[in-house]
Amino acid sequence: MTAHGHDAPRAARPATGSGEGGRTVGDDRVMTVVRQWHAVHPGLATAPMELIGRLNRCAALLQQAEDAPLRSAGLSRAEFDLLGALRRTGRALTPGDLARETFSSGAAVTKRLKQLTERGLVERRGDSRDRRVIHIHLTEQGRDLVDGILPGQLAYEASVLSGLDTGEQADLTALLSALLVQLEGRLGGFRP
Amino acid sequence: MTAHGHDAPRAARPATGSGEGGRTVGDDRVMTVVRQWHAVHPGLATAPMELIGRLNRCAALLQQAEDAPLRSAGLSRAEFDLLGALRRTGRALTPGDLARETFSSGAAVTKRLKQLTERGLVERRGDSRDRRVIHIHLTEQGRDLVDGILPGQLAYEASVLSGLDTGEQADLTALLSALLVQLEGRLGGFRP
DNA sequence: AACAGGTGTTTTACTCGTGAAACATTCGCC
DNA sequence: GGCGAATGTTTCACGAGTAAAACACCTGTT
C-alpha cells in the first residue's frame, strides 16, 4: 500500500484523534498520506493503511538505523543475521537450515557463506552420512565478532526505542506479538 | 538484530508472560529466538529485540503478502507506491519529489519511470522555467489502474489484520504512531 | 539391482536498487 | 560578465537477492 508520504511543509498542529477512547494518532508521515487519500477518495476505509503504513515505516527506519553500526563492524544485516543464527542455535547448521532461519533463499545463503568463509568467520564441513549436506559452524573469530557486536546493537535498539516509556514498549510488544502469531498462522513463516 | 528464528518443533504450550500486568507475548518466532539468546547469554536485556524483531517480522510478512496481488496486476510494490504518490498528491511531481515521497534513490526512480512511461502509465514534461526539471504526471490509464487496485489492496489488508479486533488494531495504530513520531524526529524521514 | 521421485547445494541469468560520477543548468556573489 | 557552488536528472558500475536450472545424491518401491 502507499503509506509512503512526503514532507509537506506544515505549521505546528495538535495531535489528531483517529479512533475511540484515549487512542491518539500522532502527526507522522502516514497521517499526511492518509489525508491525501481521503481528499482523493472521500469515504475510503483507511484504517488498515494507517496501521500497516506505520508498521512499514517504523520497520524501515529501524532497519536503516541498525545498518550503520553493523557496517562499521564490516557486516551487512543479512550477514549478521546469519552469524547470529549460528550463535544462538549453538550448533552447526546446513545452508538449508540457515536459509530457513533467516528467511532467505538458498542462493543468497550460498553467496553469503562464500564471503563469510573467506573472512574466516565460518567454516564448512561435509556430512559423513549424506554427501549432499554441508555443515556450517562459527569459527572462534566469528563467535567473538558476534558477541562483540550484539550488546552494542541491543543498547542502540534500547536507545532508539526510548522515546516510548517501558509500558508503551511492553504494550507494543504484546500487540505485535498477537499480530505476528496471526500472520504466522495465516501467511506462514512459522510452524510451532 | 537477529530476531529471525527457526521453526523448532514444539508441543502446544501456554502463552508466555513477558512483562508486567496483563501484557502477554504470544508464542511466535521471535519468542523462539529470544529464548535461544537467553540460553547463550543469560541475563541479556532482550526487550528491544522482542519489540523490533516482531516489528520486522510483521512488516516482512505483510509486505510479502501484499506483493502477490500487486504482481497479479502487473506492478511491483515500488511501482505501485510511485503511482500512488502521483495519485494522492493529485498533481505532477518531479523525479526528485517522487524519490522523496517513496524514500527511494533518484536512480531507482529514473528506472521505474522509464518502465512506467513505456507502459503508458505516466508521462513526462519539461519545465518552462528550469531546463533541468522534469514533471511527471499520471495518464488516465495510470490513474484508472491505481484506482482499480487500491480498494482491493485495502480490503486485503483489512482481511489480514482481522485476526486482531478493532480495539487492538486501534491501540496498535496509536502506539506505532507514537513510535513513528519519535523515530521520524530522531532518525529523520519526515519534517513536519 | 533398477528406477522414479525427492532432496541439498550450487550455479546461472536476471532484476533491482544503490552511491557516485557525469552532465547540464541555475543561482548568487563579485 | 565571470565564476564557484549548488541543484536536478540521468548514467554508470556494482552488489545483493531471486527463481529456476543443474547436478549430485538419497530413499523407497518393485
Residues A123 and A99 in one domain: yes
- What distance, in Å, lies between the first and last C-alpha atoms of chain A? 29
Domain boundary among B37, B53, B75: B75
Q: Which residue has the cell 515505516?
A: A57
What are the start-end ranges of the H helices in B41-134? Answer: 47-72, 77-89, 95-101, 106-118
Which protein residues have a C-beta closer than 7 A to any atom of strand D? A 76, 78, 104-108, 111-112, 115, 129-132; B 94-97, 106-107, 109-111, 113, 124, 130, 132-134
Residues B23 and B115 in one domain: no
- Between CA A178 and CA A170 the distance in angstroms is 12
Across the interface, do A49 and B157 touch by the CB < 8 Å criterion? yes
Ranges of residues in chain A whose predicted pLDDT is under 50: 1-21, 192
Residue B57 three-state SS: helix
Residues B33 and B70 in one domain: yes
pLDDT confidence of residue B99: 97
Q: Nearest Cβ partner of B170 from A23, A30, A170?
A: A23
Distance, CA of A187 to C1' of C13, in Å:
30
Burial of A103 (0-12, 13-18, 19+ CB in 10 A): middle
Residues A37 and A87 in one domain: no
Residues B127 and B38 in one domain: no
Give yes or no for B186 touching A (CB within 8 A). yes
Residue B2 included in any domain: no
pLDDT confidence of residue B27: 83
pLDDT confidence of residue A102: 96
Residue A144 included in any domain: yes
> pLDDT tens per residue, chain B (192 residues)?
444 433 333 333 333 444 434 577 778 899 999 999 999 999 999 999 999 999 999 999 999 999 989 998 899 999 999 999 999 999 999 999 999 999 999 999 999 999 999 999 999 999 999 999 999 999 999 999 999 999 999 999 999 999 999 999 999 999 999 999 999 988 766 654
Residue A57 included in any domain: yes
Contacts of A12 in chain B (CB under 8 A): 192
- For A105, the domain range is 75-150
Residues B111 and B168 in one domain: yes
Give yes or no for B129 touching A (CB within 8 A). no
pLDDT confidence of residue B126: 95
Query: What does chain A come to in residues?
Result: 192
| Number of domains chain B is built from | 2
- Between CA B22 and CA A176 the distance in angstroms is 15
- Residue in chain B closest to A173 (alpha carbons) equals B51
Burial of B74 (0-12, 13-18, 19+ CB in 10 A): exposed
Residue B191 included in any domain: no
* CB A60 within 8 Å of CB B103: yes
Measuring from the CA of residue A77 to each C1' atom, give the nucleotide at the shortest distance: D16
Domain boundary among A43, A72, A101: A72
- Between CA B180 and CA B176 the distance in angstroms is 6
Residues A103 and A137 in one domain: yes
Measuring from the CA of residue A124 to each C1' atom, give the nucleotide at the shortest distance: C9
| DSSP H helix total and E strand total for chain A | 7, 4
Across the interface, do A183 and B61 touch by the CB < 8 Å criterion? yes
* CB B187 within 8 Å of CB B179: no
Measuring from the CA of residue B76 to each C1' atom, give the nucleotide at the shortest distance: C16
Chain C positions with a protein C-beta closer than 7 Å: 7-13, 16-21, 24-27
Q: For residue B138, which of B130, B147, B129 has the smallest C-alpha distance? A: B147
pLDDT confidence of residue A22: 57
Distance of CA B82 to the CA centre of its chain: 13
Residue B192 included in any domain: no
Residues B49 and B91 in one domain: no
pLDDT confidence of residue B25: 79
Residue A109 included in any domain: yes
Residues B104 and B149 in one domain: yes
**Max intra-chain CA distance, chain A:** 69
- Between CA A183 and CA A188 the distance in angstroms is 7
Residues B37 and B82 in one domain: no
Residue A30 Cβ under 7 A from any strand C atom: no
Give yes or no for A75 touching B (CB within 8 A). no
Distance from CA of A108 to the nearest CA of B (A): 16
Task: Find the CATH number of the domain harbouring B141.
Answer: 1.10.10.10
- Between CA A117 and CA A125 the distance in angstroms is 11
Distance, CA of A114 to C1' of C13, in Å:
19
Distance from CA of A45 to the nearest CA of B (A): 7
Residue A99 included in any domain: yes
Angle, CA A179 vertex, CA B184 and CA A47 arms, to 5°: 60
Residues B65 and B140 in one domain: no
Residues B58 and B82 in one domain: no
Distance from CA of B129 to the nearest CA of A (A): 22
Across the interface, do A80 and B2 touch by the CB < 8 Å criterion? yes
Residue B6 included in any domain: no
pLDDT confidence of residue A5: 38
Contacts of A90 in chain B (CB under 8 A): 36, 39-40
